[in-house]
Amino acid sequence: MSGGKETPRQKMIGMMYLVLTALLALNVSSAVLEKFAILNSTLIDLVNENSGANEKKLLNIQGSTSKTPNALDAIEKAKEVRALSSKTIATLDSIKDILGREHNGKPMVGDELVGNTNISEEKMLNDKSKLAPNYEQTLVKFHDKLQELSKMQFPKLDKRATDFKELKNEKGEVEHGDKSFIEFSFEGTPTMAAITGITQMQSEVLEYEALALDSLAVRAGQDERKFDVVVPMVIGPSIVASGAKYEGRLFMAAASSGETPEMFRNGAPLAVTTDAETSIKVAKIEFTATGVGEQSYKATIRTKKDTLNRIIKYQAIAPTIQVFNGNAPSLYQNCGNFVTFACPVLGASFNPSFTGKGATVEKGDAPGKTVIVPVDRKVVITVSNAGSVIGTQGFDVKLIPKPRYVPRDNNGKEIDLKNGVKAGLTGLRISADADDNFKAEVPKDANYRIRTMEVILARGTAPVATINATSEILDLAPWRSQMRPGDRIVVSIKSVTRKTYTGQDEKVDIVGGTMNIPIQ
């Protein structure tokens, strides 16, 4: 195999060739010969592919704009290398064609060619034939001329058994060490294996050519970067307040569409993509800014030729938190207070998290929206964004206002405690109504319920009848025949609860829980 830099595919094919050659030495079977036919077909595809690639290399070299004597000489040498390689490949093709024919010149096809085990040996080891000398001389001349044109050194192509370290035993001896290149290549070799060996040699010829063209491309100036994409660019602010002055710097940016550089921020690699608008290779820089005042980071672009560095400076400002809490200047204790935080300077990147001192905080259904449930009379909420604290906000906490206890008739109309009710009343409803402001600010917390109360039908100073109620609705039908004008209904509320934001029943201290309702 050659000493140049091989692709994984070339290495795999070369290994297959060596393995099949070893199998051939052990057993000349039709199965092994068929594998040589398959390998030969694969090698032909590789030869055609590499030939096309080398043709493109030559075109790129010829496209050099450098007019220096060294560059012009390299261009001419590249043309000669391509012509030399093409001529060598054509000569090897003609030798393969001759080996694939019977002695009378008739082409062998299919199984006839694959199964033939003698014609290649007879033709290549025939002292009267010029075929073998032509094959060897073609390889030697290509090797020597390529070195002359490229000023490079290449391993020889006409290798004997002694040139392969893989064939040496532990004593350094080689079984076929006395054989010439032709004898080593064709003695005892079936025709299909011989043809495959020549195709393998063609792949090495093209590999050597590719290395030579790469070297000549450098001399021709093809290593210079060509900028084929040029666009106007502006460095300026991305956010400007209405009425403020916009200031930016307009410049021309150029890039090579055929090159994908590596890009870094502070040494960390960035993902490089092609910008849809400009077709320039770009990398998105995204990180959480820290500190206040002038900050900076190092931007690096690395190409095959050089490395570009620049320190990028920017101003980091302290974000200002805005708080929206409806009409409430403070919070209610043990209630779910809906509070919204905003930070205009962060824009769409504002997606905060919260911690509370003296309260628990739940995130709402959108960034910045929260539900704060205070347990202390003073609350401090810490606001963080992308892991960094951006500010704190303190709140005063109000005690929950006591409910107002209201008697109503069966139609839900509030009873005037001065005028009272008429005798014969069959029912009452005693409600615990929340303060209007409290109900408006925290509606989910303004739900009261009377659990127990004592209700007395009184006449003068003596009770006539008593009800120990466990419901807000009072059935007074049993008292209807006992009521007299001048009597009164005395309501004494014993226990009241409030349904909290979290769904718990909270006991309420009763204030003003006794009322007298006169009977007319």
Q: Which residue, 316, 347, 371, sits at the end of a domain?
A: 316
Same domain, 387 and 409: no
The predicted model scores a pTM of 0.47
The verdict on 305 and 334 lying in the same domain is no
Confidence (pLDDT) at 3? 41
CA distance 233 to 251: 5
- Whether the CA torsion 148, 149, 155, 156 is positive or negative: it is negative
Q: How far is CA 370 from the centre of its chain?
A: 30
What's the confidence (pLDDT) of residue 139? Answer: 95
Please check whether residues 189 and 114 belong to one and the same domain. yes
Domain span at residue 268?
229-316
How confident is the model over 175-210, as pLDDT tens digits? 666 788 898 888 888 888 889 889 999 999 999 999
The answer on 202 and 57 residing in a single domain is yes
Residue 498 corresponds to which amino acid?
R
The total number of structural domains in the chain stands at: 4
Residue 358 domain flag: yes
Please report whether residue 378 resides in a domain: yes
Which residues partner with 427 through β-bridges?
475
Regarding whether 419 and 375 lie in a shared domain, the answer is: no
Same domain for 38 and 108? yes
pLDDT at 217 over 60: yes
CATH code of the domain containing 369: 2.60.40.10
Instruction: Name which of 31, 55, 427 is nearest 206 in CA terms.
Output: 55
* 120-145 mean pLDDT: 92
Q: Are residues 278 and 152 in the same domain?
A: no
- Is 2 a member of any domain? no
- 224 found inside a domain: no
Q: Does residue 3 fall inside a structural domain? A: no
Residue 234 has pLDDT above 80, yes or no: no
With a cut of 70, say whether residue 292 has pLDDT above it. yes
Give yes or no for a contact between 448 and 459, defined as CB atoms under 8 angstroms apart.
no
DSSP of 247-282: --EEEEEEE-TT---EEEETTEE--EEE-TTT--EE
Q: Which of 48-57, 92-101, 264-273, 337-346 has the lowest mean pLDDT?
A: 337-346
Name the domain boundary from 275, 292, 316: 316
Domain boundary among 335, 368, 398: 398
Residue range 461-487, pLDDT digits in tens? 899 999 999 999 999 999 999 999 999
Kindly report the CA angle at 438 between 433 and 440, in degrees rounded to 5?
100
For the stretch 314-342, pLDDT in tens is: 777 777 788 887 545 689 999 999 999 99
pLDDT band at 144 (very low <50, low <70, confident <90, very high): very high
pLDDT of the residue at 474: 94
Structure tokens given for 338: 């809906």
Residues 185 and 168 in one domain: yes
CATH of the domain at 233: 2.60.40
User: Which of 78-82, 101-105, 322-326, 367-371 shows the lowest per-residue confidence on average (mean pLDDT)?
Assistant: 322-326
pLDDT band at 298 (very low <50, low <70, confident <90, very high): very high
The pLDDT, as a whole number, for residue 50 is 93
Same domain, 254 and 176: no
Give the burial class of 503: count Cβ atoms within 10 A of its Cβ; 0-12 exposed, 13-18 middle, 19 or more buried: exposed
Rounded-to-integer distance, Cα 482 and Cα 426, Å: 12
One domain, residues 18 and 108: yes
The C-alpha atoms of residue 209 and residue 87 are separated, in whole angstroms, by 12
Q: What is the DSSP letter of 390?
A: E
Question: With contact defined as beta carbons under 8 Å apart, do 64 and 220 qualify?
Answer: yes
Same domain, 20 and 142: yes
Provide the pLDDT confidence category of residue 413 given band limits of 50, 70 and 90. very high
- Assess if residue 388 is contained within a domain: yes
| pLDDT, averaged across the chain | 86
SS3 140: helix
| Residue 9 predicted with pLDDT over 80 | no
1 lies in some domain: no
